[in-house]
Amino acid sequence: MLPLLRKSKTMRCLLTQLLLPSDFINTTAILKASLSLHNPPPNPLSVLLGPKSKSEISGFSWSYSQVRGMANRVVSSIQSLQDSESITYLSQREAAEIDEELMGPLGFSVDQLMELAGLSVASAIAEVYRSNEYNRVLVICGPGNNGGDGLVAVRHLYHFGYKPFVCYPTRTPKPLYTGLVTQVESLAAPFLSVEDLPILSNDFDIIVDAMFGFSFHGTPRPPFDDLIRRLTCLLNHDQTPRRSPVIVSIDIPSGWHVEEGDISGEGIKPDMLVSLTAPKLCAKKFYGPHHFLGGRFVPPSIVDKYKLRLPPYPGTSMCVRIGKAPQIDISALRENYISPEFLEDQVKPDPFDQFQKWFDDAVAAGLKEPNAMALSTAAEDGKPSSRMVLLKGVDKDGFVWYTNYESRKARELSENPRASLLFYWDALNRQVRVEGLVQKVSEEESEQYFHSRPRGSQIGAIVSPQSSVIPGRHVLHQEYKELEAKFSDGSFIPKPKHWGGYRLKPEFFEFWQGQESRLHDRLHYYPREIDGKREWRIDRLAP
């Protein structure tokens, strides 16, 4: 028996308006950013690096569960896509002064700032380049603090599921750096010498440029001058059938002047720049697809003193995208799922039991609102509609949710009492579709659930004339405040007559699990009568 769930509704995925009963394959497609189309060929370090496993198409996707669970983050990210004039860019002198204040009167230590910077870099990489597609990461570390940031990023990338490699040609003989190296070695992350580095375009998916930061002066000396030259030669002009590794620069692309940018034209041209604290002036001349700001630690005193204008960080993230959003080729968006086989002899004979098993898996995986489902209905004239609702109970009698009886979906159910429910658990590559007849639950059952809700939700149900046109949000707020004051003494809040529950009695279940090369598993349950007894038949459907 699924217990009643009382989670507050957050912003729902924009896709729910597109979820008709048949739309249950890969509902996150339009949120994916295509990054590449090619796999690298075999390489000379295959023994060290191990066998490669790549999907046919490389790309990035925001999962359905992430979109639901991080609604504020989405809003903040959109708000932060500002033009370059709306964000403060620091000169070399200002960047140095801020660092001095952070490590002086504000009490930060160098290792604290490195930890925050390295975590920010790893988080930005994980935002764009999924570990199952861009797994092999080479981090090239310079002798100073920028190299320390790179060593910290290695540790976090490892724990994020990447396979990091390190090139650290000139090691700094200080306890801080020695400790960072020890931490990386404890993860069995290989250290490669410059001489042992393979042809970079063949062996790594991501190369992190952590060689020189904003304090660097002069011309890079060996071996870094050669490494910079090698990285500038990695541009793939579609003349070869392989994908060049993406390059991520920390704070300043190596070879650039901190204020004037790539003066010589021989500096690294990264695909991603992760600015720290605040972007430096040279970042105005960065034209790559991904610019992130990291280092969520700037105190108000620094912001006020330097009049910093920085974008808001979304949710609990350590990084935020700034600049223009990347172009998306919708036609190239696809996901090559990797999942265990879902076979007939492994499933429960009763679909309710199989649903409970998968639901328990979604809860155990820590997914946000695993009880969120797309409810699809159709009016008497056949016009369909979909919206997101929350499952509040399930047993052998059916699936229960609660809503306003005067809403659009309620009107449609009164005309045509059939509906479809769709659960999508992206992190598990699973979906469940349930279809059947719908009827209202008893008034007693609705009353009991209504008063199990938080008092704020009870008032909200009274205030909202769901699906009706209202002149503005202020109307809801005003009525909410009035009712909140009315019931502030803790008195009983009566359930409105227009509010209650529905129960869908299933006539059909379909369990879907994504698989490689679009050969998805689809197992279909439907009832049949055998000797006067209702049983469920299980069939496999072609993907």
Phi, psi of 424 (to 5 degrees): -130, 115
Spatial contact of 367 and 403, defined as CB atoms under 8 Å apart: no
Answer yes or no: is 148 a known binding residue: yes
Distance (Å) of CA 72 to CA 7, 10, 121, 316, 473: 16, 9, 21, 10, 18
Whether 395 has a binding-site annotation, put simply, is no
Instruction: Name the percent of the chain in helix, strand, coil, to the closest 5.
Output: 30, 25, 45
Residue 247's nearest CA partner among 262, 236, 258 is 236
Which positions ≥6 away from 282 have C-beta within 8 Å?
252, 253, 256, 257, 258, 259, 260, 261, 262
Counted residue by residue, the chain has a size of 543
Active site residue 518: yes
Question: Is 86 marked within a binding site?
Answer: no
423 known member of a binding site: no
Cβ pair 389, 403 in contact under 8 A: yes
217 a known binding residue? yes
Structure tokens at 127: 């935002």
C-alpha distances (whole Å) from 493 to each of 82, 285, 499 are 45, 60, 13
- Taking residue 100's Cβ as centre, other Cβ atoms within 10 Å add up to 11
99 CB-near residues (< 8 Å, 6+ apart)? 113, 277
Amino acid at position 236, single letter: N
Q: Is 145 annotated as a binding residue?
A: yes
Residue 216 assigned ligand-binding role: yes
Q: Is 111 annotated in some ligand binding site?
A: no
Active-site position among 229, 518, 522, 537: 518
Residue 407 CB partners (closer than 8 Å, separation 6+): 466, 467
* Backbone phi and psi for residue 491, each to the nearest 5 degrees, phi listed first: -70, 165
| Rounded distance between C-alpha atoms, residue 499 and residue 507, angstroms | 26
Spatial CA neighbour of 273 closest among 245, 247, 249: 249
3-state secondary structure of 499: strand
* 251 labelled binding-site residue: yes
Q: Write down the residue that tokens 């861009």 correspond to.
A: 134
Beta bridge partners of 138: 165, 207
Give DSSP secondary structure letters for 272-301: EEEEESS-BGGGGG--SSEEEEE-TT--HH
Residue 275 is assigned to a ligand binding site: no
| Alpha-carbon torsion, ordered 332, 336, 337, 338, to 10 deg | -160
* Among 214, 213, 244, residue whose Cα is nearest residue 230: 244
Instruction: Kindly give, in sequence order, each residue whose CB lies less than 8 Å from that of residue 186, ignoring residues fewer than 6 positions away.
Output: none
* CB-CB contact of 58 with 134 (8 Å): yes
Residue 213 labelled as part of a binding site? yes
| Annotated binding-site positions for (6S)-NADPHX | 145-149, 213-219, 251
Known binding-site positions for K(+): 146, 209, 254
The catalytic site residues sit at: 518
Known binding site: residues?
145-149, 209, 213-219, 251, 254
